[in-house]
């Protein structure tokens, strides 16, 4: 069964600094991987997804993630943090893209002015 582990339930970065949110997956088959963002009092919004095409995936709001099979990782990065990036971020995995999503426990990103 697939699963994802998000290291760090809470990450704080200064405005303008690099954002790095970690996600490691466990899957018996090549997975589909997703990053979702949840702003306060809102639903989830898809940031980006990996579906076995390019290993470097670019998403919305300047975020990107790199699929590394050797490290079983799909870390989310953004070169320069903005105050508006403060939110909860969830990594999720799906086997073959046609199975239900399994979410990680989430990482709360705080931006320090």
In 3-state terms, what secondary structure has residue 43? coil
For 11, 57, 63, 112, the CA distances from 91, given in Å and listed in that order, are 14, 14, 13, 23
CB 16, min distance to other proteins, A:
27
Q: How far is the CB of 90 from other proteins (least distance, A)?
A: 6
46 sits near other proteins (criterion: CB under 8 A)? yes
Among 28, 41, 70, 84, binds other proteins (CB under 8 A): 41
Which helix H or strand E contains 45, and what residues bound it?
A: strand 44-50
8 Å CB contact between 82 and 15: yes
Least distance from C-beta 60 to other proteins, angstroms? 12
How far apart are CB 95 and other proteins at their closest, in Å? 10
Q: Which of 29, 70, 100, 113 binds other proteins (CB under 8 A)?
A: 100
Q: Rounded to 5 degrees, what are φ and ψ at 28? A: -80, -15
Q: Which positions lie near other proteins, rule CB under 8 A? A: 41-46, 49, 90, 94, 97-101, 103-106, 108
């Amino acid at each position: 069964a697939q699963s994802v582990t998000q290291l760090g339930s809470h990450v704080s970065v200064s405005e303008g600094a690099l954002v790095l949110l970690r996600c490691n997956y466990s899957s018996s088959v090549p997975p589909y991987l997703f990053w979702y963002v949840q702003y306060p009092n809102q639903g989830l919004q898809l940031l980006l997804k990996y579906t076995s095409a390019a290993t470097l995936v670019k998403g919305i709001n300047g975020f990107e993630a790199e699929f590394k099979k050797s490290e079983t990782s799909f870390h989310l990065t953004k070169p320069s943090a903005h105050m508006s990036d403060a939110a909860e971020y969830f990594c999720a995995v799906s086997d073959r893209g046609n199975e239900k999503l399994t979410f990680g426990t989430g990482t709360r990103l705080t931006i320090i002015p």
